């Protein structure tokens, strides 16, 4: 049954005030709650698997800052590492021992890269990887897939056109058409389209980029045979394969989707999870490819805050925990049990919804008639079900991302009690979402 709406009085006041300062009252669009009911919640603090908003409402959090908080909020070891570094300084714009330590921790536990470069965000990592691919191959065009998001850099903020193989169309004002014309956008899981790309643009394709497992527009899990096809066709044509592992890297496992598929990409990108949730990203590749980055090579990339000591300290503390034997196996087992109980309820009540899951990631797809592997298989009208479910979950103290296209995450901080409470709330909310 429905429950009383939570109070949003203080959050609403803060949101009205924020509109005077920021476009739409937010500093990132999805935070505006445009796809769900009510005004956005302003968060005051987080601890473990829980969040508290400005009105004092408490939630079990399955957004986890969009994924990187795999250890939950305010992890004591990460917090203590940050506090220790704060006493030494916030930023130097110079090399530190901490950069070496985090790089060594990553490279000795990740066999898919030989050298790495730290940056300040996932967007910056992908932008730099694209530049590296173009510089290394001496080609200009990039192939991306509809439904994959790679940050807001100009060359990747594009959507598909109307044909089988099309140049990208800008999906944001301010992106010049000439930039979009260097990006070719095709549907996922379509071998014919990619084969046509390499015929139509022979010797022009610098790289094909794909999310390790597409998880920014639903959870579009690809078959290994298709990922192997991407690997084979790029090699045959002298192009690079880029795995954008900003979400999947260090979330599916220490070696991410590359290990999941057992396929070696040419360049990989990572996001804030390597900094314990702090603003950091990285890209890596073989020593040969990375030798093209300045100052060794002629592909320029720089950043005053790259390798920021506070972020490095947080990352070292976090990844030491993630590298412990059994960490990912336990988290995946917890997630599979969580999903299985909800799936059994869905089947019992004959609800028209699927749950996709991989590792510790899950996603609800409403009115799904088949396995969803492409963006065009998602019915936009089905988002009304998520909108209803989201409101009911908030009212029951469960926090999901404010869009039905976003995935959910389980962290090591989620307790058995947390998950049991969430399962009950999800069952109740699903029934209400499907009420006539």
DSSP assignment of 304-357, as one string? TTTT-HHHHHHHHHHHHHHTSTTHHHHHHHHHHHHHHHHHHHHHHTT-SEEEEE
Catalytic residue status for 272: yes
Q: Which of 136, 149, 270, 283 is catalytic?
A: 149
Cα→Cα distances 64→167, 247, 398, Å: 35, 12, 12
User: In this structure, are strands 361-366 and 353-358 parallel, antiparallel, or unpaired?
Assistant: antiparallel
CB-count exposure of residue 114 (10 Å: 0-12, 13-18, 19+): middle
Task: Give the separation between CA 52 and CA 44, rounded to whole angstroms.
Answer: 6
Q: Which of 53, 61, 244, 266 is catalytic?
A: 244
| Helix residue ranges, H only, 160-245 | 177-180, 191-200, 224-236
> How many of the other CB atoms lie within 10 Å of CB of 93?
10
Q: What sign results for the dihedral spanned by CA atoms 208, 213, 218, 221?
A: positive
First-to-last C-alpha distance (Å) of the chain: 14
Q: Which of 141, 144, 272, 388 is catalytic?
A: 272
Task: Give the separation between CA 343 and CA 208, rounded to whole angstroms.
Answer: 35
> How many of the other CB atoms lie within 10 Å of CB of 16?
11
Show the tokens assigned to 326: 């059994």
Cα→Cα distances 31→39, 174, 400, 414, Å: 9, 22, 12, 23
**Look-up of token digits 């390597």:** 274
| 3-state secondary structure string across 123-165 | HHHHHHHHHHHHHHHCCCEEEEECCCCCCCCHHHCEECCCCCC
Just list the catalytic residues: 149, 244, 272
């Amino acid at each position: 049954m429905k429950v009383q709406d939570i109070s949003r009085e203080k959050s609403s006041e803060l949101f009205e005030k924020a509109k005077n300062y920021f476009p739409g009252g937010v500093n990132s669009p999805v935070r505006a709650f445009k796809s769900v009911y009510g005004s956005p919640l302003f968060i005051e603090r987080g601890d473990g698997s829980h969040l508290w908003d400005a009105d004092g409402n408490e939630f079990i959090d399955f957004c986890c800052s969009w994924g990187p908080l795999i250890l939950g909020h305010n992890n004591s070891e990460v917090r203590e590492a940050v506090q220790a570094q704060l006493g030494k300084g916030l930023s130097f714009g110079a090399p530190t021992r901490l950069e070496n330590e985090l790089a060594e921790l990553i490279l000795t536990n990740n066999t898919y890269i030989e050298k790495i470069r730290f940056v300040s965000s996932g967007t910056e990592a992908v932008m730099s990887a694209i530049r590296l691919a173009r510089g290394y191959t001496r080609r200009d065009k990039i192939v991306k897939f509809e439904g994959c998001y790679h940050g807001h850099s100009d060359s990747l903020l594009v959507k598909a056109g109307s044909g089988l193989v099309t140049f990208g169309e800008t999906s944001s004002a301010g992106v010049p058409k000439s930039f979009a014309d260097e990006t070719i956008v095709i549907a996922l899981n379509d071998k014919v389209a990619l084969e046509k790309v390499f015929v139509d643009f022979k010797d022009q394709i610098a790289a094909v980029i794909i999310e390790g497992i597409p998880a920014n527009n639903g959870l579009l899990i690809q078959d290994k045979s298709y990922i192997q096809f991407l690997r084979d066709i790029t090699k045959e044509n002298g192009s690079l394969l880029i795995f954008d592992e900003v979400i999947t890297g260090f979330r599916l496992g220490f070696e991410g989707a590359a290990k999941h598929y057992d396929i070696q990409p040419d360049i990989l990108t990572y996001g804030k999870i390597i900094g314990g949730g702090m603003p950091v990203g990285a890209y890596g590749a073989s020593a040969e490819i990375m030798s093209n980055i300045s100052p060794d090579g002629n592909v320029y990339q720089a950043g005053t805050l790259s390798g920021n000591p506070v972020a490095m300290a947080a990352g070292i503390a976090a990844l030491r925990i993630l590298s412990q034997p059994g960490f990912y196996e336990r988290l995946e087992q917890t997630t599979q049990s969580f999903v299985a109980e909800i799936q059994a309820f869905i089947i019992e009540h004959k609800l028209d919804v699927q749950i996709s899951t991989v590792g510790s990631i899950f996603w609800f797809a409403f009115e799904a008639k088949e396995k969803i592997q492409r963006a065009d298989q998602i019915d936009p009208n089905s988002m009304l079900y998520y909108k209803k479910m989201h409101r009911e979950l908030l009212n029951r103290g469960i926090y999901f991302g404010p869009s039905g296209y976003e995935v959910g995450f389980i962290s090591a901080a989620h307790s058995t009690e947390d998950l049991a409470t969430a399962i009950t709330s999800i069952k109740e909310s699903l029934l209400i979402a499907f009420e006539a």
